[in-house]
Structure 1
Amino acid sequence: MDLAKISFAPVEQARAFLEQNPDIDLFELFILDNNGVPRGKLLHRDELLAVYESGRPLPSTILGLTLNGEDVENSGLVWEVGDIDCRAYPIADSLQRLPWRLIPTAALQVSMHPQEGLPAAVADPRHLLGRVIAALQADGYYPVMAAELEFYLLDAQRDSLGRPQPARDADGGRPHATQVYGLRELEQIEPFLADLYAACKLQGLPARTAISEYAPGQVEITLEHRSDALQAMDEAVRYKRLVKGVAHKHGMTACFMAKPFDHLSGSGLHMHVSLADAQGNNLFASEAADGTPLLRQAVGGMLDTLLDALLMFCPNANSYRRFQSNSYAPLAATWGVDNRTVSLRVPGGPASSRHIEHRICGADANPYLAAAAILAGIHRGIREQRDPGPPVEGNGYAQASALLPTDWLTTLRALEASTWAREAFGEEFLGVYLAVKRAEYRQFMGEVGEQDWRWYLHQA
């Protein structure tokens, strides 16, 4: 994408919102950093129009922070540039009420301006996705995407040992059984779901099917696919904020960790993707269950780039705890037709709906970066006509040979060494992203905590 062509929301959207919402005095202005953390400012009503007209300054460091919100000196966004102010502008249609807030409040998502937002603009994850989408469109391919996010509903209070625990249900008890697809389990969280669906409707988010997932207190709600992949990821970002906010209102914590419990299922971000032509026709559509040659080339590209991009799918130390056999989380670079034991699944259904379900990301992934890596892999597969080999039939866990790495450092080094990633994402973006991840790795590995004491305090 030519950053000079990026468009932002017109000021008329803000004027219309202010007229329709006279009770709202506070506005949360936020930008999503590379860890998927929303960061920003709280503005008053009389400050809103100026954001649309001339942007809002944010420090350059805001897109070079660790997960814990600490500066990363090697990012190039701190001392070298004097923590300069970078101007961000509103994303169209992102101005929405936050119905769970006690004080009438709305949220506004912004993105860095391609010139006025420098140097932070090079690290804006939304811009990265935009560039990848534009490269596909230049070759006549228009990505269609949807996101499925799994999460746990936890009690705001820990148990007597300080551990997180499932939230109480409508009857006052705590779920302990794995009632996958259980209807009673959904009924027991009906007050939360009612508020969540109402909030989604108010914000224009396409929330659809709700499922009781493969662990007590685990839930999945699907979002409808969008012909604009950037819009689909914008909605995934806003949906995740909304889930957390509504859960908080109900005295719960919505947890999107990839693996919050060692003995229970992890939480994934499943990405559904297909390619359309300029008229909106699905280029993967086929009566054959394994799709068109173009679909198979897309699968081949994603498999070939999987290791290089794994850090963007699984960005944290905890992410790799999710990769366990017979857990519905993938273990290897595999694909199959209507098979949930592989990493890339081609679901069944009508020929017109043929698409790929990418099952690798943890729920802790940044949707923009995950989508960018998926689409860049697809583009490589098409350009180089990559052959994914035959689809896996039966138990993919039993047939897995070359397993995915299960440690953070291996994937960090793979991204560092990847020529493809530097071509697909750019040296400037990767320079910031890798600096942040190296700093987080060093900090995480240097921290001594309860597990160290339990294992080594007396036995070492």
Structure 2
Amino acid sequence: MAVRPAAAAPVEEAEAFLAAHPEIVAFDLVLIDANGIARGKMLRRHELLPLFKNGRHLPGSILGLDVSGEDVEETGLVWSDGDADRRGWPIAGSLNRLPWTTPPRGEVRVMLHELDGQPMAADPRHALARQDAALRAMDLAPAAAFELEFYLFDRGATTDGRPRPALLPLSGDRPHAIQVYGVDDLDRMEPFVDAVYRAAEAQKLPVETLISEYAPGQYELTLHHRPDVLAAADDLVMLKRLLRAVALRHGMIASFMAKPVAGCAGSGMHLHASVAGADGRNRFADIDGDLAPLLKHAIAGLLATAEEAALVFAPHANSWRRFAAASYAPTQPTWGTNNRSVAVRVPAGAAETRHLEHRWAGVDANPYLVATAVLAGMRHGIEARLDPGAPATGNGYAAAASTALPPDWRSAIVAAERSDFLKRALGERLHTVFLALKRAEYLKLAAEVTPAERSQLLDLI
């Protein structure tokens, strides 16, 4: 018999939800894999209570799938493991309704555990929970919020196969200029925007500011900060699913590729983070008009571990197309205050709300793994009392850095393979699984003959 883990959501949560929502006929059971992809099953209404009471068997190989959903035997989770079942247990507070569905459906997210109740070590959410617990053991409670950049494209195919910015619903116009921070284009998106905010409100998702970003059809949504970093990562997972679903119902594609269009801005997933002491006060708050030493140590830790953790922040071949000078994406491990040309930024604002903004990750990264690597890097800097050096001023792209980012995806895979830091941050099992997936994806993509290759070489060489 499976052992119920202490972190599993209480049965009373499901009982109250079913009583309050008699209209819901089915539930999406969702587990987030190492690539940040939602996988699972659709349950009928009568199956929800047994899930909360006893958990639900899921194959461990669900966490050994590459980005295209194929088994990767090298993860150790497929045939060498006998494709053994683990047990999915509901995450407290994750039971929600999907307001865009007809007939109405709900959603419940699960975390994977071994049958004896221990966390399944390849589940990314458990890795983040461990890093959160490690900081809390130092009387430092992480608070966090994500920003999400994305594109809206037409669903229809084009003759050249390139995505086109989605039509603005009110005017029928297609965005063709950058118009960063333009409010008129946001107004012309009103039916879609209204649907997004209504769905977020129904899901109690703390979605805040919408911005027209630095390319035609590119936007940004911010999330309110959480005193619980796990909840902040959950928010990001929910928001991506919400945007994809609402866009689909408005004839659009919400794209979370890091660089979907050549020559246009890439899409990032910035993480804002701070830590509170046992008294609840922000330990990154300024001291005597200067940045707190603890904040500087945390920044230094992120810079020192940048190369080793780069694969987490840029996990796909396409991720590396995002990094370019003067692109608002960092190209080297630098930091600065009130400066968007650096990798770790200390935003302007009230002294008591001081925090860091980690700008490396693309929107294609897994938020649980991103937050895991960020917390681990901060903790490394704090424990070793590292010094980040002088902040970059002016154009951070021209500043010198003591360390460097890997130049490409393959180099990032090698750096991650060799990294004791990343192995400790993720845990040995997840490190093995994540690297096996990235190696398999690299080899699969490297074997492809692309249209660009044929167009350049087919009848010319």
The one-character-per-residue Cα deviations of 1:403-446 (angstroms, maximum 9, x if unpaired) are 52231110111011012222232221111111111111100111
Contact 2:4 2:54 in 1 (8 A): no
The answer (yes or no) to whether the contact 1:180–1:213 under 8 Å persists in 2 is yes
Unaligned runs of 5+ in 2: none
Mapped contact 1:286–1:354 kept (Cα < 8 A): yes
Deviation at 1:289, TM superposition (A): 6.9
**Partner in structure 2 of residue 432 of structure 1:** 433
The corresponding residue for 2:395 is 395
SS of equivalent to 2:145: strand
- After TM superposition, the score normalised by the length of structure 1 is 0.97
Question: What SS is found at the alignment partner of 2:133?
Answer: helix
Label 1:27 to 1:5 Cα distance change in 2 as closer, same or farther (>3 A): closer
8 Å CA contact 1:347–1:355 kept in 2: the answer is yes
**How big is each residue's C-alpha offset from its partner over 1:153-206, in whole Å with a ceiling of 9 and x where there is no partner?**
111112222211100002111100000000001111111110101111110110
Name the CA shift for 1:374/1:304 in 2 (closer, same or farther; >3 Å): same
Go from structure 1 to structure 2 and tell me whether the alpha carbon gap of 1:4 and 1:397 turns closer, same or farther (over 3 Å shift): farther
* Contact preservation (8 Å) 2:298, 2:378: yes
Tell me if the contact between 2:314 and 2:365 (Cα under 8 Å) persists in the aligned partners.
yes
1:226 is aligned with what amino acid? R
Partner of 1:152: 151
User: CA–CA distance in 2 between the matches of 1:289 and 1:149?
Assistant: 31
Q: Is the 8 A contact 1:312 1:373 kept in 2?
A: yes
Which residue identity is paired with 1:452? E
Contact in 1 for aligned 2:334/2:399 (Cα 8 Å): no
| 3-state SS of paired residue (1:269) | coil
Tell me, yes or no, if the aligned pair for 1:4 and 1:114 is still in contact at 8 Å.
no
How far apart are the structure 2 equivalents of 1:455 and 1:375?
45
Q: Does 2:121 correspond to 1:122?
A: yes
Are the aligned partners of 2:86 and 2:114 in contact in 1 as well (CA < 8 Å)? no
Code of the residue aligned with 2:298 in structure 1: it is A
- Tell me which residue corresponds to 1:215: 215
User: Which amino acid counterpart does residue 441 of structure 2 have in structure 1?
Assistant: E
The 5 A counterparts of 1:173-252 are 173-252=173-252
Q: What is the DSSP-based 3-state SS (H/G/I as helix, E as strand, rest coil) of the residue aligned with 1:123?
A: coil
Q: Partner of 2:84 in structure 1?
A: 84
What is the rounded CA distance, in whole Å, between the counterparts of 1:340 and 1:405 in structure 2? 21
Tell me the equivalent position of 1:15.
15
Shift of 1:400: 4.3
Q: For 1:220 and 1:289, how far apart are their aligned partners in 2? A: 32
Q: CA deviation at 1:39?
A: 0.3
Post-superposition offset of 1:336: 0.2
| RMSD value, Cα | 1.6
Q: Which residue of 1 aligns with 2:420?
A: 419
Q: 1:299 to 1:123 in 2, by over 3 A?
A: same
Structure 1: which 4+ aligned runs deviate by more than 3 Å?
3-6, 114-118, 287-290, 400-403
Q: Any residues of structure 2 matched to 1:106-117 within 5 Å, and which? A: 106-116=106-116
Figure out how many residues of one structure are paired with residues of the other and give that number: 457
What is the alpha-carbon distance in structure 1 between the residues aligned to residue 373 and residue 5 of structure 2? 22
* Residue 84 (structure 1) shift: 1.1
2:284 paired residue number:
284
Q: Which amino acid aligns with 1:154?
A: F
- For 1:14 and 1:271, the matched residues in 2 are separated by 31
Q: Which residue of 2 aligns with 1:378?
A: 378
Q: Which residue of 1 aligns with 2:131?
A: 132
Does the 8 Å contact 1:335/1:344 carry over to 2?
yes
Contact 1:257 1:319 in 2 (8 A): yes
**Deviation per residue, 1:329-371 (Å, 9 max, x gap):** 1010000000000000000111111000000000001000000
Measure, in 2, the Cα distance between the counterparts of 1:69 and 1:229. 28
Q: What is the CA–CA distance in structure 2 between the aligned matches of 1:228 and 1:407, rounded to whole Å?
A: 33
- Tell me the amino acid that sits aligned with residue 405 of structure 1: P
Q: Distance in 1 between matches of 2:238 and 2:279?
A: 28
Decide whether the 8 Å contact of 1:331 with 1:400 is kept in 2: no
Code of the aligned partner of 1:156: R
Asked if the contact 1:88/1:117 (under 8 Å) is kept, the reply is: no
In 2, the alpha carbon distance for the partners of 1:390 and 1:201 equals 43
Instruction: State the Cα distance separating 1:21 from its structure 2 match.
Output: 1.1
Question: 1:359 maps to what in 2?
Answer: 359
**Following the alignment from structure 1 to structure 2, what is the Cα–Cα distance between the partners of residues 52 and 4?**
10
What is the CA–CA distance in structure 1 between the aligned matches of 2:364 and 2:6, rounded to whole Å? 27
Which residue in the other structure is 2:310 paired with?
310
- The CA deviation string for residues 301-327 of structure 1, in whole angstroms up to 9 with x for no partner, is 000001100100110000000001111
Matched-pair contact (CA < 8 Å) for 1:290–1:346: no
Measured after TM superposition, the shift of residue 116 of structure 1 is 4.3
Q: CA deviation at 1:236?
A: 1.1
Measured against aligned partners, the alpha-carbon deviations of 1:35-81 in whole angstroms (never above 9, x if no partner) come to: 00000001100111000000011111000110000000111111122
Distance 1:300 1:268 in 2: 21
Distance 1:166 1:400, change over 3 A: farther
Secondary structure of the structure 2 residue equivalent to 1:122: coil
TM-score, with length taken from structure 2: 0.96
Indicate the residue corresponding to 1:253 in structure 2: 253
Q: Kindly indicate whether the alpha-carbon contact (under 8 Å) linking 1:59 and 1:83 is maintained by their aligned counterparts in 2.
A: yes
Equivalent residue letter for 2:127: L
Which region of structure 1 is more displaced relative to structure 2, 285-294 or 244-253? 285-294
**Pairing of 1:92-107 with structure 2 (within 5 A):** 92-107=92-107
- Paired letter, 2:60: S
Shift of 1:113: 2.1
**Does structure 1 residue 34 correspond to structure 2 residue 34?**
yes
Shift of 1:117: 6.7
Change (3 A) 1:414 1:337: same
Q: Percent identity?
A: 50
Distance 2:29 2:145 in 1: 25
